[in-house]
Structures are given as structure tokens and as C-alpha cells.
Structure 1
Amino acid sequence: MALNRIAFCASTAPAAQEAFAALVALHGQTPLEAADVVVALGGDGFMLQTLHDSQASGLPVYGMNCGTIGFLMNTYSAEDLPARLAAAEEAVINPLAMRAVAADGKVTEALAINEVSLLRAGPQAAKLRISIDGRQRMDELVCDGALVATPAGSTAYNYSAHGPILPIGADVLALTAMAAFRPRRWRGALLPKAAVVRFDVLEHDKRPVRADADSRPVPDVVMVEVRSEPRIAHRILFDPGHGLEERLIVEQFV
């Protein structure tokens, strides 16, 4: 697959800006509307931002790591970029759709590639009621927070909260609690990808909760609904042998 017309973008980090200047000097810069591929230079956070920003274009995104972890990125090199793009393997992932209702009635809708999380925003633990597909499954979860993660995001915040790593092709979502106090040490659940997860915030006036969709915050929520959005597909390119499936397996043996 020839991907010769490249739209480069970079985070504000000095290393990413230096890489951007070098690659544009070598390959030129194509406007997004005329490009075959987007090359993102930065870390995982910038990669998520680029996937959101380029969503409407439908273009594949090839990331090169100029940040810290770079789980969604390829190794940076200024050499042989056209050959690497031509040989790259594509992974297609669906984001989560979040619908959050705040205490003042404001409704916020957002997409999340990694996870939607709820976090306590005060000194007291959050109290959440959890329903799956309209059926109440947990009357009261007392915790620091909870999240719903995609397979692509299962090694991010979800893994730090001791949630499971999910194979990239798995049609499941991870529901993970953070510092669950009651039920004691409840670790969460694996849910079908088509499940609709609803969180109702109990006692929200004295136990405020913030919702985040890929780190985009919505303060003082009283209800959050999360579902997979199959109508949207993000295309990510990886060097052969270093795709998401391989990375998820390697992560479990580190």
C-alpha cells in the first residue's frame, strides 16, 4: 500500500518538534485533506489526541515515539519512513461513547479510545450504583473510582488499577474498580463489547464525582453511560511484528 502523501503532526515536546522539522524537510508536508496517512510524533497522549482530531478523515495514523512510554507508537527513526509505512500492519479499534449528566442537568457526550473513568472529586469515597443493559448489578460500590476500558486501553489506566489486559481482538470490555472499599477489594468484571454500562452517583452532593473520557474531564456528574461505538473505527499502523496484539502479549510477560 503506497502512502506517499504524509500529513505530519507533533506534540509541543522539544524532541517531537525536532523530529517534525527533520521529517518535513525530508518528505514535505501534505494538508490533511489531501494526505494518504497521518504521522504523529509524540507520546501516547498525543497519539490519542491525533486519533480524535483525524477521526473524520478516516486516514490511518502511524505514530513515532518522541515521548515516554509510547505503547501506541512505533520506534522513531528519520530513515526509511516510506518503506515502513508501506509495510505497516493496520489495527482497527472502536472507541467508547460516553454520555454524562452533571448535577446542573448539562449533558456531555464524548468519545474515548482508551477508557471512560469516574473518579472521586472530594475527600470522601464515591458511591456508585452500576447497571448493565438496564439491569441493576450492584446496588452500591464504595470506591475511589471505576472505569470501563477497551482492549486497546486495557494496558493504560485500567492496568494501573489492577484490571485485566484484554486481547486486541476480544469482543469484551473491562469494568474495573479503583480502591474498592465495599464490596471489599471488588476487582470488577468482564463485559460483552455490546454492553451498555450505567453508573449512577449516589449522595453526589457530599461525594462529588468527575468523569473522564480519555482524560477530558466532566465535573460533578450524577449519571454516566458508557457503550462501545462500532460506527467509528480508528485505524492505527504498526511496524510488522510490533502490532497491538503482540504488544499486549509482551506486556503480560514483562
Structure 2
Amino acid sequence: MFRRVTSKPTTSEPRFAIIASETDEAQSAVRSLTKRYPLCGRDGADVLVVLGGDGFMLHTLHDMLDAGDTRPLFGMNRGTVGFLMNEWRPSGLAERLAKAKAITVRPLAMKATRCDGSVVERPAINEVSLLRQMRQTAKIELSVDGRVVMPELVCDGVLVATPAGSTAYNFSARGPILPLSANMLALTPLAPFRPRRWTGAILPDDVAVCLRVLEPERRPVAAVADQYEVRDVSEVRVTLDRSRALTLLFDPEHALDERIAMEQFVT
């Protein structure tokens, strides 16, 4: 999925390595940076420069979580939207890294129980979503900290989003945009049929959200943690994982917290 670039760094340059997607745009950017800077191998780097789009950044973040790697990431957009990325600019990279603003994001922890009783646990940086697998609508019971807050939601699905993910799938489903400092989670229905007027809820991020599938054999539901899908689930528990944190670096004028706040005024 990515190419590692290795070169011997000099003491006058920051120790960083490049992780790039396999797209032509990203590989062209690798060649440009390789000509300009002394690079080190990934294991010896203090900062990892990620070249690609938001999807590749999410993939890289999950790799970091799986490896227990807490080093900061500085992304440059060589993809499409690039919400999690900085502007592509090959010049002045060392200075940009020195001045970058650090943003900490914490993942959700998804514990999905399948109908056969097996359990799958996965992190999610943007959101955990439940989606109907067939033509029938899903029926889902919603609980917060063990209290049933909605006995039956008839819908295409429902999701729990972090502030970092609130401008992604959550926003397209008409969920709220959450500032990074809000310490909140968004609980947002997907095409709700009953109750029709329920548009979701904003919850403190220290709660446990339990989504129990009603009639799972007749109305099968899949759970998705970012890009990882688990099919035929009967129950999904979602909490914020405070034991793990990831650090994203941004140009001060292009920082993620400011971009999320300004998304509220985009027309």
C-alpha cells in the first residue's frame, strides 16, 4: 500500500521519513522530496510525512494504532479532498515541520458481536456505523450507559462519530459538526423511518453506546469501523479509547481544529 523511502540524513535536517500511496501523484511527490531532502528510514524517523489522500491517511493511522506507534504524522495532499492533509508544497518542509501545530485525536473502540456469538474489536478514527445488509430496513435499539434511550429505531443505519470524523460520513448524513475540543460524540441516524423526526443526539465522550440489532436474522446488519466491515452483527458497543492517541501535524494556518470549525459556515 505504501513505499518507504530511505536515505542517510544529515544532522542539519529534521529526521523524517516518507510514506506514500501508490498513485502517480503521490509517487511523483516522493521523487520531488527525495531530490530536495536527506531522508531517514521509517524506524529512525521522528516525524512521518504522509503523501496521499484522506483514505490513505486513515489507512496509515490504523497501521500506527496496530503497531502502537505514537510518532506524529504530517500529511500533504496528493489525493482528492485532503481534509486531513496539508497543502502539497515541496519547498520549506523542514520549516513547516518546525512550526506545525499538533492535533491529538483519539479513536473509538468498537466491540461487535456477531449472530454466531463471535466478537470482533476494531478502532475507528472517524466513525462506527451500522448499515442494513438487505432491502429490509434495520431495527436497532439504542442504549447509553446501560439505559435504553430508544427502544426501536427503524432506519437504514446509525453511526457514532468522533469530532475528527464529524465532517465526514456523519456530516453527509446531516449530523452535527463537533469542534475538536468539544469532548462530545455524534449519534446520527441514517435515513430514519421511525421515529421520522429524530435527527440524532450529541453525547459526552465518556459514555458507552450500545446498538442492539432487533430481528438480526431477518434484517441483517453490518458494522463498519472506518473502512473495516463486520457482517451479521447482533450488538455493537462503542466507547472512546482514551488509552491511545494519534498526533497529526498541520500548518498553523491550515490546522484541523480551525478547518472543522469553519465547515459550519460552508454553504
- TM-score past 0.5 threshold: yes
Counterpart CA distance in 1 for 2:13 and 2:124 is 27
Distance change (3 Å), C-alpha of 1:5 and 1:104: same
Tell me the SS of whatever aligns to 2:117.
coil
Q: Residue in 2 aligned with 1:78?
A: 90
Counterpart CA distance in 1 for 2:196 and 2:129 is 20
Pair 1:174 & 2:173 matched: no
Pair 1:4 & 2:14 matched: yes
Counterpart CA distance in 2 for 1:78 and 1:245 is 24
Q: 1:222 aligns with which of 230, 234, 256?
A: 234
1:89·1:237 contact (CA, 8 Å) conserved in 2? yes
CA apart distance, 1:169 = 0.4
Counterpart CA distance in 2 for 1:3 and 1:101 is 49
Aligned residue type for 2:144? I
Q: 1:107 aligns with which of 106, 119, 123?
A: 119
Q: Residue in 2 aligned with 1:52?
A: 62
Pairs within 5 Å for 1:102-141:
102-141=114-153
Q: 1:39 aligns with which of 49, 57, 62?
A: 49
What is the Cα-based RMSD across aligned positions, in Å?
Answer: 1.2
Counterpart CA distance in 2 for 1:53 and 1:141 is 34
Tell me the SS of whatever aligns to 1:124.
coil
Aligned residue type for 1:22? S
Which segments of 5 or more consecutive residues in structure 1 lack a partner in the other structure? none
CA apart distance, 1:22 = 1.8
Q: Residue in 2 aligned with 1:69?
A: 81
> What's the TM-score once normalised by structure 2's chain length?
0.92
Aligned residue type for 1:39? V
CA apart distance, 1:25 = 3.0
CA apart distance, 1:88 = 0.4
Tell me the SS of whatever aligns to 1:155.
coil
Q: Residue in 1 aligned with 2:3?
A: none
CA apart distance, 1:206 = 1.3
Counterpart CA distance in 2 for 1:107 and 1:11 is 31
Q: 1:150 aligns with which of 153, 162, 166?
A: 162
1:179·1:185 contact (CA, 8 Å) conserved in 2? no
Q: Residue in 1 aligned with 2:8?
A: none
Tell me the SS of whatever aligns to 1:169.
helix
Q: Tell me the alpha carbon deviations over residues 124-171 of structure 1, each in whole angstroms, 9 at most, x when there is no partner.
A: 110000110011111000000100000000000000000000011011
Q: Tell me the alpha carbon deviations over residues 212-242 of structure 1, each in whole angstroms, 9 at most, x when there is no partner.
A: 0012111111110000011111100000121
CA apart distance, 1:244 = 1.5
Aligned residue type for 2:176? P
1:144·1:180 contact (CA, 8 Å) conserved in 2? yes
Counterpart CA distance in 2 for 1:94 and 1:190 is 17
CA apart distance, 1:3 = 7.6
Which segments of 5 or more consecutive residues in structure 2 lack a partner in the other structure? 1-11
Aligned residue type for 1:192? P
Q: Residue in 2 aligned with 1:247?
A: 259
CA apart distance, 1:102 = 0.9
Tell me the SS of whatever aligns to 1:184.
coil
